[in-house]
Amino acid sequence: MNQVITPSTVPTSERLAQLHRYWQATNYLGAAQLYLRYNVLLDRPLLASDIKPRLLGHWGTQPGLNLVYAHLNRLIQDTDANVLMVVGPGHGAPAILANLFLEGTLGEFDAHYKPGLVGLSNLIRQFSWPYGLPSHLVPGTPGQIQEGGELGYSLSHAFGAALDNPDLLVACIVGDGEAETGPLAAAWHSNKYLNPATSGAVLPILHVNGYKLSAPTIYGRMSNDELTNLFTGFGYQVRFVGGSDPMQVHKAMWQAMNWAHEEIQTIQQQARMGMLNGVPAWPMLILQTPKGWTCPLTVDGQPIENTFHAHQLPVADPAGKPSQLKTLETWLRSYRPQDLFDEKGLPFVDVVSICPPDDKRIGMNPHANGGALLRPLELPNIADYAVTIPSPGTVSVEGTHTLAIYLRDVFRLNDHAQNFRVVCPDETTSNRMSPMFEATQRAWMGPMIETDEFLAPDGRIMEILSEHTCEGWLEGYLLTGRHGLFGCYEAFIPLVDSMLNQYAKWLKVSKETPWRKPLASLNYLLTSHVWRQDHNGYTHQVPSFINSVVAKKSSVARVYLPPDANCLLSVMDHCLRSRDYVNLLVASKASQAQWLTIDEAQAHCRRGMSAWSWAGNEINHQPDVVLACAGDVPTNEIIAAAAILREHLPDLSVRVVNVMDLLTIMSPEDHPHGFPEAAFVQLFTPGKPVIFAFHGYPMLIHELLHHRTNPLRFHVRGYMEEGRTTTPFDMLVLNNMSRYQLVLSALDRVEKRAGSGDLRMWCQNKLTEHAAYIRRCGQDMPEVMS
């Protein structure tokens, strides 16, 4: 591992020829996928009837992807490198599928695509065909860890994959369109967080293709000086490979790959001998080739190659226009398919002689099917971290602090496996989770000074002020078979809403892909939540991520609102053991009253929701009203409301229900955690009014309850987008969820009885007192000048 392997530095003409023929074969297969339904090897002249009835697919990025794939193959052959390929450019599937087909892995994962004429025909015909091969990379694509849909995440995924995989080389192709996105732009700084002593390497290959859909790319029109400056500034060593003469580009790419590989090995060797200081200057390549390289220069007089017209279909209507059919045939024959494949559809030996040995093929990289590598975490006994509860509400703690002590020991117990990380936009300390620093540090490769705290190159807490990069790193880490947690302020996690959309889609399709093994779940811990923004105010009040997670497929989405520290421990323990879910946990970092012993908490969390008899005032198991709560602050308030009712109206029968696992309130037909209707009715009664205090937007509860018996009796309070710089209690009042307002709402729904009127007045007085207090605060100014 610590020896620098020098690959053959001189490209022989024989191997260059092999490379080129392999490249021609992948280009042919890629172009054929776009167009051909029959006559897939052009055994006879091309007819309009050979063309697919509807053309859907993209050519522009294919030749570049094929070039990189071919040269990675050569590098693997020469160096035995362990290469995971991450493909950023959109619509790259036909190129990658062509390579996977040629190296044989596609057929090994799906028998339809075995080498030979049948498999080759299937590949070409099934592309962009209903229920066939999609235009983007998908979970069903061997060797891939990234969907080809929304752009911008290749680089953060690549770094996430390389972490703690010291022998892995992640070759990451970044599209020049993709490079314009914010998440990609931020991810270049990942080099400041990756320790070459203990992690693998990322080789970024920026593919400057020149055009997006129909406009030039920014990176395509920057000068080489600008590009060099920019990426040198980001901390990389830049090498350009470019041109339009394939053999020249092959030679340059060969040498560039060798250079990059040697630089990486040198950096790793130095780091592993303890001789590296600071952020190493990792190599990166900038590949500048024409958009749609090797397609027709013009079609019907219109320039195509090296223009944006080559982005999608260079020849737009070959079935309809005879001149275009001829152009297409000339183009396809330019790759000389008869010289590449024999009559059985098998590639000639020299065409695939550049492919690596079986288990080293890119499509076979084990890290791409991370679930198969996944080792369960060793988890401590949560009872050892439990808060002691003499009786409900008598102890106050910061729940995230308690959790952090447990997580500290998760780091310790799994130190030998190096397979657990926490990502966070620099909020670990603010979130009261500093105890984790007793076990590990913040990852940091940059310069350090004496007054810094908790920084180290091998730190396992990754803090960058970019939620996108945090999410991308974690996704890459999970997809390659490890475990992690994203700790974030609740208000700003919607920054990754769209990344969650795409990841949840990946998970759903992965589960439907037989060879994909379950991954560790994607766990979010949201703190500094909407109800406790004492000085941040209105901009920091955004509980919408719950809605985002709930909108995901029910086979994937899980939402937990632990009401206290012991429940938080219990549910985190569960989440770290779970697989293939998106687990959302919301818990305040503020000190709050505690309710359940660890045993009670475990029973409650296992059940998902339960009645808390000690909080209610239930008479003969016949409640007149149910007070329900989901979320730590709402729980506190509902318990206070119940206490008021107990004291003032002792003959009102009140049941308190705490909902920890939010989706238990859904019908079981809508979510697997949904309580059976009978159990739901047992808890909430068949028809009594329910006053429901919820952490987030109240409308969401109505949505979740839709299929339940008599949902209109649920009266939900929650965050109504009312807030400002004010006291935590005033936040509740502003949003109609204070204990007094909850009591009033309960009184509105139950039969009037002796004492109701007095209690109503008492509550209104309390609210009037509060209003006066707030008015005094607002008037705590010497004088208003007119």
Using CB under 8 A, which residues numbered 538 to 557 contact a copy of itself? 538-540, 542, 544, 547-548, 551-553
CB of 730 to a copy of itself, least distance (A): 6
Structure tokens at 543: 């509980």
Which stretch in 78-86, 179-187, 616-624, 747-755 sits in contact with a copy of itself by CB under 8 A? 179-187
Q: Residue 754 or residue 781: which is nearer to a copy of itself going by CB?
A: 781
Residue 368's alpha-carbon distances to 68, 322, 355, 502, in angstroms, are 18, 44, 18, 17
Give the x-and-dash track for 191-220 against a copy of itself (CB under 8 A).
Answer: -x-------------------xxxxxxx--
Spatial CA neighbour of 199 closest among 237, 149, 161, 152: 161
Tell me if residue 169 falls in helix, strand or coil. strand
Q: Residue 307 or residue 653: which is nearer to a copy of itself going by CB?
A: 307
What is the Cα–Cα distance from 505 to 88, expressed in whole angstroms?
Answer: 17
How far is CA 429 from its chain centroid? Answer: 24
Q: Does 89 bind a copy of itself (CB under 8 A)?
A: no
* φ/ψ of residue 25, rounded to 5: -65, -45
Residues numbered 422-461 forming contacts with a copy of itself, rule: CB under 8 A: 426-430, 442, 444, 446-448, 451-455
Q: Residue 311 or residue 574: which is nearer to a copy of itself going by CB?
A: 311
Cβ neighbours of residue 208 under 8 Å, at least 6 residues apart? Answer: 176, 217, 219, 220, 227, 242, 286, 287, 288, 289
Residues numbered 231-290 forming contacts with a copy of itself, rule: CB under 8 A: 231-235
Residues numbered 683-742 forming contacts with a copy of itself, rule: CB under 8 A: 697, 699-700, 702-703, 706, 711-712, 721, 724-727, 730
Structure tokens at 26: 């992948």
What is the Cα–Cα distance from 112 to 126, expressed in whole angstroms?
Answer: 10
Q: Does 8 bind a copy of itself (CB under 8 A)?
A: no
Residues numbered 26-55 forming contacts with a copy of itself, rule: CB under 8 A: 54
What is the Cα–Cα distance from 745 to 628, expressed in whole angstroms?
Answer: 12
Q: Does 148 bind a copy of itself (CB under 8 A)?
A: yes
Could you give the maximum distance between any two Cα atoms of the chain, in Å?
Answer: 100
Of the candidates 73, 165, 306, 324, which one interacts with a copy of itself according to CB under 8 A?
306
Q: Residue 221 or residue 753: which is nearer to a copy of itself going by CB?
A: 221
Q: Does 401 bind a copy of itself (CB under 8 A)?
A: no
Q: Does 66 bind a copy of itself (CB under 8 A)?
A: no
Q: Residue 269 or residue 502: which is nearer to a copy of itself going by CB?
A: 502
Q: Does 181 bind a copy of itself (CB under 8 A)?
A: yes
What is the Cα–Cα distance from 430 to 529, expressed in whole angstroms?
Answer: 12
Q: Residue 247 or residue 734: which is nearer to a copy of itself going by CB?
A: 734
Spatial CA neighbour of 252 closest among 244, 241, 263: 241
Q: Residue 363 or residue 563: which is nearer to a copy of itself going by CB?
A: 363
Residues numbered 518-537 forming contacts with a copy of itself, rule: CB under 8 A: 534-537
Residues numbered 562-601 forming contacts with a copy of itself, rule: CB under 8 A: none
Q: Residue 303 or residue 320: which is nearer to a copy of itself going by CB?
A: 303
Cβ neighbours of residue 10 under 8 Å, at least 6 residues apart? Answer: none
Q: Does 83 bind a copy of itself (CB under 8 A)?
A: no
What is the Cα–Cα distance from 167 to 480, expressed in whole angstroms?
Answer: 13
Binding residues with a copy of itself: total (CB under 8 A): 138
Q: How many CA atoms lie within 13 A of 482 on its CB side?
A: 25
What is the Cα–Cα distance from 508 to 503, expressed in whole angstroms?
Answer: 9
Query: CA angle, corner 16, sides to 154 and 135, nearest 5?
Result: 35
CB of 596 to a copy of itself, least distance (A): 30
List residues bridging with 559 in a β-sheet. 584
Q: Residue 3 or residue 131: which is nearer to a copy of itself going by CB?
A: 131
Give the x-and-dash track for 750-779 against a copy of itself (CB under 8 A).
Answer: ------------------------x--xx-
What is the Cα–Cα distance from 489 to 535, expressed in whole angstroms?
Answer: 14
Residues numbered 346-385 forming contacts with a copy of itself, rule: CB under 8 A: none
DSSP of 650-670, one letter per residue? TTS-EEEEEESBGGGGS-TTT
Q: Does 221 bind a copy of itself (CB under 8 A)?
A: yes
Which stretch in 394-402, 494-502, 618-626, 740-748 sits in contact with a copy of itself by CB under 8 A? 494-502
Q: Residue 84 or residue 184: which is nearer to a copy of itself going by CB?
A: 184
